[in-house]
Structure 1
Amino acid sequence: MRNHTSQVQTRPAPDRRHLSLWSAGLLMALILMAGMARAEDDLIVTHGVSTFGDLRYGPDFEHLDYVNPDAPKGGEISFGWSTGSFDSMHPYTREGRPAVLSSIFFEAMLESTADEIGSAYGLLAESIAYPEDRSYVIFTIREEARFSDGTPVTADDALFGYEILRDDGLPSFRAQIGRTISGAQVLDDRRIRFDFNPTSPLRGRIVSAGGLPVISRASHEASGLAFSESRLEPLIGSAPYILEEVEPGQRVVYARNPDYWGNDLPINRGRNNFDRIRIEYYGDAVAAFEGFTAGNYLFRQESSSSNWATAYDFPALEQGYVVQAELPDGTISTGQSFIINLRREQFQDVRVREAIALMFNFEWTNQTLFYGLYVRNDSFWQNTDLAATGLPGAAELALLDPLRDQLRPEVFTEDPFSLPASTPDRALDRRQARRAIGLLEEAGWIIGDDGLARNAAGQTLDVEFLNSGLMFDRLINPYVENLRAVGINARLTRVDSAQMTQRERDHDFDIITDHIPMGYEPGAGLRQYFGSETANDSVFNAAGLADPAVDVLIEHVVNAETQEELNVAVSALDRVLRWERFRVPQWFNDAHWVAYYDIYRYPEPLPPYALGFLDFWWVDAEAEAALRAAGAF
């Protein structure tokens, strides 16, 4: 497929006959501007950008392939939430706990799709213009683009979004913006130019700038609040949904803006079909499930294997009101794991970390608690071709050899680290326990008469699992018992969601459950998850990993210019990260478990990289009326 771009001259050279009319000051200003940035000629002007390959959709595409372009608008989709409460509608600050989907109000210049990797198309941007070296990009905003209050979206608003997030956004976000974007300037009402740091990777430049949320400057100024302050009155954006109702900790409702400016865009056809999106908050997962069976909300994406295997026998399902389905999921694993806090002194020795990991019996947990429905997360890029396998080949060694004296020797001599399989027949695998005790003894932790391991200073090896969800007790408690069996003074501490959030932000924990979501084309975001510079600031680097060799490998990934280079660099990074043993992999599922009252419809087949229930599903009005008449909800 062709790459749908074109070379154009954006402006002619100035007529030298008129130079004498210009003032010396203006001429000097032009000279200085020319020194700061190259002339805007010979630009690639396009409707979309792609990292390595061609764009799937040409400039005249009518709609995305995976949507139903004639999907009816209307109705409501509702779902439950039991993972913590909320007290804010501001997703870009550390103050408060934002509601689910609280960034729904904002659009960006570019929009990705669910059937491509590494491509993005103009949303707010009518066109994207950049030189071959991608030293800068110019976005031209669509003339019809409007904020939800009816005011035009301008280049000044795009500048405001960039500058306020750069200066007052989350610390890790600020750091990454600064690494990539050196500055921005408004060219006119509809055009904004982003200049990139020469040292930043070419691959992620345009998408990083094009992915910044565009926020109404006027709405922020009218609020009278500092950007960092929590708020329940959201800032104004240009997206299809606005806030209809908010009850902190209980409910939030988003309504489709009837005057949304972008309804007729090809990128939006068949999408944003629901008039309302309602989210009901529950104190725990049990209450949330009961809310679904009672019809208090109508769509559920199941995350509990126990529920999936045993609980779907309630009357509404037996009467045919509810559909229970496993839909294909081709996406990368979420990377769910127990994360060990490397900032803690007792976890500095990798042998201690491996001993802790060995005592999690995944096989018993999966069979006993999860009905054998899950697969372990070994790789950070599980379920993709990017995962490291076997011994490093020549291409990987070219990246790893210069770092040999900084890397663990196993990186070169053994397959990527994976925990050995444990017996599924009992929670405590004695073979793994003997291995763990041996590792602890090598690290200087000797089990005493009281059954606790102590170091030379007489300190016990204390490990606290921090958790806010009741449902996780059943899998953490057996793990705690296994650790205590090998002398580790382990315990589970359950806190409320607010405490959990604060302690995570303060890095005040030993072990937590967290997700490490990687992408198919990882880039600068890796620095937030694994980079030394943000190890003590990033909310994403839960482990506090700060390793110079990892930093080097991250830069190889970031600077990869071909798919082959990227695959090699990611595989090398995956290999090194796994041998650091700072996480205990949990599990993933290669299917979407969904249950919903039989009023929702979706296009078939689904795209490979998204379930899209909030994006391109719709309500069957006749089916909804029939179920209401039957008293289903």
Structure 2
Amino acid sequence: MAPSRPHALPVERPNMLHWLGGGLTALALLGLAQQAGAEETIIETHGYNFFGELGYGATYDHLNYVNPDAPKGGEIAIWTLGVFDSFNLYTRKGNAGALATIGHEDVLTTHADDPTAVYCFLCTTMEYPESIDWVIFNLRDDVTMADGRPWTASDLKFTFDMFMKDGLPSFRAAFGAFVEEVEVLDTHRVRFRFSPDSPMRDRIGLAGGMPAFSQSWIEENEYKIDEANILPIMGTGAYALDSYEIPSRIVYKRNPDYWAEDLPVSKGRNNFDSIRVEYFGDSVAAFEAFKAGAYTFRSENSSKTWATGYDFPGIANGHVKKEELPDGSLSLMQSYVFNLRRDLFDDIRVREAVGLMFNFEWSNESLFYGLYDRVTSFWGNSDLQAVGAPSAGELALLQPLVDAGQLEAAILTDEAVIPPVSSTRQVDRKNLRKASALLDEAGWVVGDDGMRRKDGKLLTIEFLDSSPAFDRITLPFVENLKRLGIDASLNRVDPAQERERQRKYDFDMTTHNGRMPLEPSTGLKQWFGSEGVDESSRNLMGVADPAVDALIEHVIAAQSKAELKTAVHALDRVLRAKKFWVPQWFKSKHTVAYYDMFEYPTPLPDYARGELDFWWYNAEKHEALKAAGALR
């Protein structure tokens, strides 16, 4: 069982297309202000934050959460599940390898202890008017690609044009709605002009999310970003692909000539000489390999394994450390989701009835060893979560949607929906009776064979999953649904089939995961908006609702933190009321195990565990482990 899905390592870029993750922050009135003509003040600054002060000034010695004296060297080896056949993440074709964009850097960057701000990285400063009609990035003149060739403003414009021509439709739609023109002013100066009707809060962060690619390299290799490719796009980053073996292994090596090695932002970071990723077909085999020393760092996503599996010799003799590290992040929105594109799930009573039959309390006690809390909100573990009845500010946003017939009037008075609470027996009879009544009311009647039908059609639901470890969680859910008269089943496929079927929206229910941002904005359209419902890999649910769309616009338009919080509360309330998910579980701590040759600074930042970023390798401990035969 792997409760904290997805079980595969993330291959998404941390900064590129940051708009997909949410609010990109904006306007920090820092830096040098000067007059442009007699009309508008131009702001020049090293960083940008719409709602508050920047956490870092223009000069600093190193990031607050790193060890600036961390030694360089060694290897960290991690694992992932599935297969890969490409290193191009910018297309939906193929299966991109884990950490496929590790070598790609963006114009702007974020810091783990200041997650709602963006800072110049490939630029020295940025300039923009108070209207944010445009932004000029003053690019660094020392940025080089992995092979040493220089990177310039022309390369940045070329990259933008390439993505606008051949990038994902969702990318083209977002950037096309924001950016009217990209203009090269000189070798290291480029201006993005923004559409007047684009959200101000997202403009600069969106433009700064462009990666550093080389026009000459792209053309020399005849690279097509809309096609799968086993050749990774060359970047400027600290790591580059060293070797791979399909389907079992990928190795990335640190670039000894990395252009940013001596910058303050790099001190104490990128400490490993190499990062190795081992692929496995199932989580059981992966854990056995870890115990045998085949890889060296493991984020444990199975509560059963965490509670009962760490009794092997490596733990007993101290070769392996087992730790719980604090995690201040928002809770994941991990859940079973309905495919709303299926006519069966048009009726909210069907969705609610199905949700009543998942017994979290029994699962947590019987399967999870009490390690988890229930996911209750899309912004759980934060003050963005809607609670109780709507506030006056929320009512002002919700009332017009009720008046327009887009929401039920109950949203104005009811408390925010929370998942049903069950007994600690697998089948909660109270919830079973309530679910049965809902299906009866919806016209799904129990026949002589105990199965429910409507207009002669059997009520059938298939769960799509690729993880054997999830069987012991989903199968009891399936059994409960069968007791309700639903022809429920679990179809476990391999990871490639799961991904392909999810891409085609070919499922009834599946497990979905993600984490909402602290300052959500345009990226919400990818998760819940009507525009991307037929192409977004994030909106697996198929949410296409005018009330949701309207509330997303309110979130995007928020001009203060108070406005943002109110709008997110209203959106969270409505999303939960739609009941297109069956929330699963989360824990507010990282459960990790690793061979005792890695070290990290304390305290860790709230929003980053950082093992691939700012942990480091102790050579003496490594030699001791090798001498003891603990590592392969």
1:206-217 correspondence to structure 2 within 5 Å: 206-217=204-215
Q: Percent identity?
A: 51
Distance 1:229 1:605, change over 3 A: same
- Describe the superposition over 1:481-510 as per-residue Cα deviations: whole angstroms up to 9, x where unpaired: 111111111111111111111111111111
Write the distance in 2 (CA, Å) between the matches of 1:374 and 1:162.
43
Report SS of the residue matched to 1:313. Answer: coil
Match of 1:116 in 2: 114
Shift of 1:8: 3.1
The structure with more radius of gyration: 1
Report SS of the residue matched to 1:254. Answer: strand
Given that residues 447 and 453 in structure 1 are in contact (C-alpha distance below 8 angstroms), is that contact kept between their aligned partners in structure 2? yes
Q: What's the C-alpha RMSD, in Å, of the aligned pairs?
A: 1.4
Given that residues 417 and 578 in structure 1 are in contact (C-alpha distance below 8 angstroms), is that contact kept between their aligned partners in structure 2? yes
Match of 1:590 in 2: 588
Residue 453 of structure 2 corresponds to residue 427 of structure 1: no
Write the distance in 2 (CA, Å) between the matches of 1:256 and 1:511.
41
Shift of 1:372: 0.7
Given that residues 254 and 277 in structure 1 are in contact (C-alpha distance below 8 angstroms), is that contact kept between their aligned partners in structure 2? yes
- Describe the superposition over 1:544-602 as per-residue Cα deviations: whole angstroms up to 9, x where unpaired: 11011110100000111110000000000000000000000000110000101111010
Amino acid across the alignment from 1:625: E
What TM-score, normalized by structure 1, do the two folds share? Answer: 0.93
Residue 162 of structure 2 corresponds to residue 164 of structure 1: yes
Match of 1:409 in 2: 409
Shift of 1:478: 0.6
Residue 232 of structure 1: which of 208, 215, 230 is its match?
A: 230
Given that residues 274 and 618 in structure 1 are in contact (C-alpha distance below 8 angstroms), is that contact kept between their aligned partners in structure 2? yes
Write the distance in 2 (CA, Å) between the matches of 1:338 and 1:408.
24
Write the distance in 2 (CA, Å) between the matches of 1:445 and 1:250.
47
- Describe the superposition over 1:135-162 as per-residue Cα deviations: whole angstroms up to 9, x where unpaired: 1111111111000011111112212222
Write the distance in 2 (CA, Å) between the matches of 1:501 and 1:628.
38
Write the distance in 2 (CA, Å) between the matches of 1:334 and 1:173.
24
Report SS of the residue matched to 1:203. Answer: helix
Match of 2:25 in 1: none
Given that residues 599 and 617 in structure 2 are in contact (C-alpha distance below 8 angstroms), is that contact kept between their aligned partners in structure 1? yes
Residue 336 of structure 1: which of 306, 324, 334 is its match?
A: 334
Shift of 1:173: 2.4
1:13-162 correspondence to structure 2 within 5 Å: 42-82=41-81, 84-162=82-160
1:292-307 correspondence to structure 2 within 5 Å: 292-307=290-305
Write the distance in 1 (CA, Å) between the matches of 2:98 and 2:492.
22
Write the distance in 1 (CA, Å) between the matches of 2:218 and 2:441.
58
Report SS of the residue matched to 2:114. Answer: coil
Residue 376 of structure 2 corresponds to residue 378 of structure 1: yes
Write the distance in 2 (CA, Å) between the matches of 1:171 and 1:561.
28
Residue 479 of structure 2: which of 458, 481, 498 is its match?
A: 481
Shift of 1:170: 2.2
Given that residues 80 and 288 in structure 1 are in contact (C-alpha distance below 8 angstroms), is that contact kept between their aligned partners in structure 2? yes
Shift of 1:9: 5.4
Report SS of the residue matched to 1:480. Answer: helix
Write the distance in 2 (CA, Å) between the matches of 1:209 and 1:301.
33
Match of 1:507 in 2: 505
Given that residues 386 and 572 in structure 2 are in contact (C-alpha distance below 8 angstroms), is that contact kept between their aligned partners in structure 1? yes
Match of 2:458 in 1: 460
Shift of 1:451: 1.1
Shift of 1:94: 1.0
Shift of 1:66: 0.6
Given that residues 408 and 579 in structure 1 are in contact (C-alpha distance below 8 angstroms), is that contact kept between their aligned partners in structure 2? no
Residue 605 of structure 1: which of 603, 606, 609 is its match?
A: 603
Write the distance in 1 (CA, Å) between the matches of 2:504 and 2:446.
32
Write the distance in 2 (CA, Å) between the matches of 1:316 and 1:220.
47
Given that residues 81 and 279 in structure 1 are in contact (C-alpha distance below 8 angstroms), is that contact kept between their aligned partners in structure 2? yes
- Describe the superposition over 1:84-129 as per-residue Cα deviations: whole angstroms up to 9, x where unpaired: 2111011111110001110111100111011113111111111111
Match of 2:521 in 1: 523
Match of 1:352 in 2: 350
Write the distance in 2 (CA, Å) between the matches of 1:407 and 1:227.
41
Moved more, 385-394 or 617-626: 617-626
Given that residues 88 and 225 in structure 2 are in contact (C-alpha distance below 8 angstroms), is that contact kept between their aligned partners in structure 1? no
Match of 1:449 in 2: 448
Report SS of the residue matched to 1:246. Answer: strand
Given that residues 220 and 227 in structure 1 are in contact (C-alpha distance below 8 angstroms), is that contact kept between their aligned partners in structure 2? no
Match of 1:615 in 2: 613
Given that residues 532 and 551 in structure 1 are in contact (C-alpha distance below 8 angstroms), is that contact kept between their aligned partners in structure 2? yes
Report SS of the residue matched to 1:243. Answer: strand
Write the distance in 2 (CA, Å) between the matches of 1:572 and 1:88.
41
Shift of 1:179: 2.4
Report SS of the residue matched to 1:406. Answer: coil
Amino acid across the alignment from 1:7: A
Match of 1:183 in 2: 181
Match of 1:7 in 2: 33
Write the distance in 2 (CA, Å) between the matches of 1:395 and 1:117.
26
Residue 579 of structure 1: which of 560, 577, 581 is its match?
A: 577
1:237-276 correspondence to structure 2 within 5 Å: 237-276=235-274
Write the distance in 1 (CA, Å) between the matches of 2:361 and 2:628.
44
Amino acid across the alignment from 1:560: A
Write the distance in 2 (CA, Å) between the matches of 1:389 and 1:407.
18
Write the distance in 2 (CA, Å) between the matches of 1:452 and 1:161.
56
5+ residue gaps, structure 2:
1-27
Shift of 1:185: 1.6
Write the distance in 1 (CA, Å) between the matches of 2:610 and 2:598.
12
What TM-score, normalized by structure 2, do the two folds share? Answer: 0.93
Amino acid across the alignment from 1:430: R
Given that residues 79 and 278 in structure 1 are in contact (C-alpha distance below 8 angstroms), is that contact kept between their aligned partners in structure 2? yes
Shift of 1:415: 1.0
Report SS of the residue matched to 1:44. Answer: strand
Report SS of the residue matched to 1:472. Answer: helix
Shift of 1:516: 3.4
Given that residues 451 and 487 in structure 1 are in contact (C-alpha distance below 8 angstroms), is that contact kept between their aligned partners in structure 2? yes
Aligned length: 602
Write the distance in 2 (CA, Å) between the matches of 1:46 and 1:333.
33
Write the distance in 1 (CA, Å) between the matches of 2:303 and 2:164.
41
Shift of 1:3: 5.7
- Describe the superposition over 1:406-425 as per-residue Cα deviations: whole angstroms up to 9, x where unpaired: 1123311211111221011x
Write the distance in 2 (CA, Å) between the matches of 1:332 and 1:619.
29
Given that residues 380 and 516 in structure 1 are in contact (C-alpha distance below 8 angstroms), is that contact kept between their aligned partners in structure 2? no
